[in-house]
Structure 1
């Protein structure tokens, strides 16, 4: 990292509170997010989507924290609540020890620089009317208005090179690039303001398999070189195994299991986690048939009683359908919200 980049990063940290080595960078505490769908005025109860239900995670400095689960489980909603794009219905978000979800726009501005996001669709996340140079210069000029034109252009060139882009692309428009090139431009845009924390919401799912590895390698390289902290959202567990340091498994707006990546893959505990991992393609034909998952994911508008997974769980009993499980810490630090694991039924 350049001296100028280090200075701007330190300046941002001072404005948001001095960092402490023993303090998580990001915390989501008992987050609830419900979406009111409105409805007819004669209805007694307005339909509500219960997207997040008492979710708590902590993200340590320098790690790649991965959130996995089926589509619609609340991964992206949690990311948007953390980033301030959505307000939580209940709970709180803390960044570097400061609660930020209740801050006004002006008070939150220093945190906007330190928290950046890479979106899923590179074809929609870049303004088609702006050149690459204009797209990358805009956040720098907004957050660092005292930089000269020459310093801004030098910063753009430096970041473009760092993510494997040609600095000569600056005068071209997004439609002139492939999906992988656009996503590397999106990564460059996120890095332009020297953030501490980057949310990557399914950043490779819209890309061809042949270039997914290239984009992942760029993200892994920038994490190590710039000491970035990632919240990486994906449904692809094979990616998590190589990219993540810790993993949170979500189902229907709840956190089922949270563990170090190696521990999760070697000794998954929650029945849902086991089923997800069994679906990863294996080398041998004997392992190619994962056990089926009965039924379908219930509606988030009408959550099951007790454990939200109980009606599809092979280990469920009467307690599971009546009582919501609380996350329990295991001997190795894994958190599991499951009555069957607590009682040793699995």
Structure 2
């Protein structure tokens, strides 16, 4: 059996809120007590990412997508659970112990205007990780590698002495991708890398990422709000809601036969040109807050199929015949 490149088991992450001094106090049973609210960002995430595939994470703002990405990369420490790289546990490692994995796991951030150091030229940005991870390379070899990297992402090598502010948003994101590729990684986390770009530029950057994946057999964890991008780019899709994964499926299975009520609502909102498109599903009910984690299903308050079991018991992921998995009592009981 092939070992997954990335394996995540039972990942949990909670953040303590930091309110003003007055906001931290409230009356409870007639007494003034200090309130300690916590945001439950990740609630038992289980995922695998295989070599050469693109796993897209979708879900509304605040569902925990970016927290998941940062936790995988070691930028945020999980409260519990495990993260394994080729079956080697890495979530408990300190910065020094994690260093060998820094080369194999890279990240492209959402904002190309903030993720590049404004005081470093493009050459410095790319040469620094190359020289750090390859101390035996000569200066001429580093120069050659920087030139090849820039040309491979569509940036002229003659621009290597320019600073980030001299480039457009699309060019900066190409440079960010070149920086991630500079150490020859196996796995790249892309946290909404297209959201700050114009539509035409988005297509260019997306095609570039697909080309690099084919050339280098890269694996991507790709976070986005754009379902059209997911339909074009994904191998598998994980749908997140309030810190949980409610559906995980191959791309074709998810778009052709969505199962979870939340997934159906998301996909119904995609604009289509054909006249046979079903009407968009409008979710009603109060949107829950991650501070007040529901006892049962996280989607209970907005689900038209919810019954008492949904309020009392959290659903487990159930594998379907089309290789998809879904966490829904209604599907398990045949009510949907």
Q: TM-score range by the shorter chain?
A: over 0.9
- Select 2:241's aligned residue among 240, 251, 255: 251
**Does the CA-based 8 Å contact 2:287-2:301 persist in structure 1?**
no
1:171 shift after superposition: 0.7
Partner of 2:4: 24
Corresponding position: 1:337 with 2:320: no
Aligned length in residues: 326
What is the distance in 2 between the residues matched to 1:226 and 1:22? 19
Partner of 2:89: 99
What is the distance in 2 between the residues matched to 1:158 and 1:232? 25
Corresponding position: 1:136 with 2:126: yes
1:288 shift after superposition: 7.4
Q: How does 1:1-346 map to 2 (within 5 A)?
A: 22-38=2-18, 40=24, 43=33, 45-284=35-274, 287=277, 289-346=279-336
1:284 shift after superposition: 3.5
1:304 shift after superposition: 2.1
Structure 2 length-normalised TM: 0.94
| CA deviation string 1:202-257 (max 9, x = no partner) | 00011011211000000000000011000000011110011000000000000000
| CA deviation string 1:238-289 (max 9, x = no partner) | 1001100000000000000000001100111101000000000011356374
Gaps of 5+ in 1: 1-20
What is the distance in 1 between the residues matched to 2:117 and 2:275? 46
1:45 shift after superposition: 4.7
**Does the CA-based 8 Å contact 2:53-2:219 persist in structure 1?**
yes
| CA deviation string 1:101-154 (max 9, x = no partner) | 112222211101100000000011111111100111111111111111111111
Structure 1 length-normalised TM: 0.91
The 3-state SS of whatever aligns with 1:171 is coil
What is the distance in 2 between the residues matched to 1:344 and 1:100? 40
Partner of 2:28: none
